[in-house]
Amino acid sequence: MKLDRSSTGIQLDGFDIERIQLHNDKGIQVDVLSVGCVIEALMVPDNKGNFENIVMRYNTVQEYIKNQDYFGSIVGRTAGRISDAKFKLGGKLFELDKNDQNYNLHAGNAGLHTRNWNVKPIEEKDAVGVEFSLKSFDGEGGFPGNVNLKVTYLLNNDNTLKLMYEGDTDEPTVLNMTNHTYFNLSGNLNKQVYDHRLKISAEQFAPIQENGCPVGLLAGVDGTAFDFRDEKTVGQDIGANETQIMRGGGFDHPFLLEKTDAPQINLYHPESGRRLDVWTDQDAVVMYTANHLDHKAICLETQNLPDHVNKKGFPFEAVTPEKPYKAVTKIFISYE
C-alpha cells in the first residue's frame, strides 16, 4: 500500500490544489484532487493485465475549478434538483440559487464540487486513503446551518474503494451528498457504454418531469425500460419508446434500492472483464448514462431520493445537531 501527495501548482481559495494518489498492492490506483474531492483517475487492469483509466476526466486541473460536468466530484449539499429552488423546514422557507431553469441543481452556485477541501492523508496497515474536510457556512447557496463536512476515500488490498460522508450541523438542515464519477469500464472513454451489463436491485424508480426534477411518486419497474432486476446491457432499452426515456435522452433517474448486505448495483464489461459491484446504505441510486456526452459513460450516484425535502411520497429526515448526516458507499472492483 502506498500514498503519494503532491501539489498541482494551481491555487484555489488561497491554497494549492493537491493531488493524492492511492495505490494498493494489486496495482489499483486512485488519483484524487482536493478541489471537489474529485476522483480524477481510477486505474484498473483488464482480463489481460492491461491497466487503463476507467473514469472520465478533464485534460487540465484548471477545468475542475468550474467542473461543469461534475466529473468525479462530490456533489452537495444536495445532489440532484430541488424543485422551484426552495424548501420548507421547521416552518421556515429557504430559497436557493436557481442554476437550472427554475430549479436548484446539485446545490447551485455554492456547490461543494468547486471548493478546495482540507486534506488529511490516511495510511493504515491494510488501507490507504484521504479524509477531506470543509466548513459550509449558514446561508451558503440559501441552505441553513453551519455544517462541518467530511468526505473519506479508503482503498484496501481487497480492491474495495470505500466512500464515507459525514456532516455535523448547528441547526436543522438538508444534506444529501453523492459522488459523480463517470465510469466507462472499457477504458476507451470515447466509446459508448451500450455493451456494459447492468443489474440494479430495485423494484421501483422515480419518474421525472420534462425539466428533470422528480415527479414525486414512485413507479414499478416491471414491464418498463427501467427493469434492471435481471442483468441486461445498458444499450438494450436506452432508446426505448417510453416517455421517461425520451425525457432524459436516456437514463437519468433515481431507483429505490433494496435494503440488503449484498451489493445492490452490478456493472460489468464483458470484453475487458472489468466489474464494479456497489453497495450503499442510502435509499437510492441515480443512474445517469451521460446523456449530454453521447452515452460514453455511466454514473451511479448513490444518495437518498432527490428533492426528498419537497416530496411527501419520498422518505425524508432532516439533519439536526442531535442526528448528524452519515452515508457510506462501497465499490468492489474486480477483473476476470
Edge-to-edge, what's the strand order for the sheet holding 252-256? 182-183, 298-303, 284-288, 252-256, 204-205, 219-220
Half-sphere exposure of residue 189: CA atoms within 13 angstroms, side-chain side: 15
3-state secondary structure of 140: helix
Cell matching residue 316:
425524508
Long-range contacts of 8-15, Cβ-Cβ distance < 8 Å, separation of 24 or more: 8/33, 8/61, 10/61, 10/62, 10/65, 12/65, 12/115, 12/116, 13/115, 13/116, 15/116
Q: Which of 18, 40, 140, 301 is catalytic?
A: 301
The yes-or-no answer on residue 301 being catalytic is: yes
Distance CA 107, CA 27 (A): 36
CA 100 to centroid of chain Cα atoms: 19
User: Measuring CA to CA, how many Å separate 23 from each of 2, 123, 286?
Assistant: 5, 11, 28
Cα–Cα dist 123/112, whole Å? 25
322 tagged catalytic? no
**Cell numbers for 334:** 474486480
CA distances from residue 45 to 28, 29, 50, 72, 274 in whole angstroms, order as listed: 8, 10, 5, 20, 8
Helices (H) and strands (E) in the chain, counts: 2, 26
Q: Which of 180, 196, 295, 308 is catalytic?
A: 180
Round to whole Å and give the CA distance between 258 and 237. 22
How would DSSP label each residue in 113-137? GGSB-EEEEEE-SSEEEEEEEEEE-
Catalytic residues: 180, 301
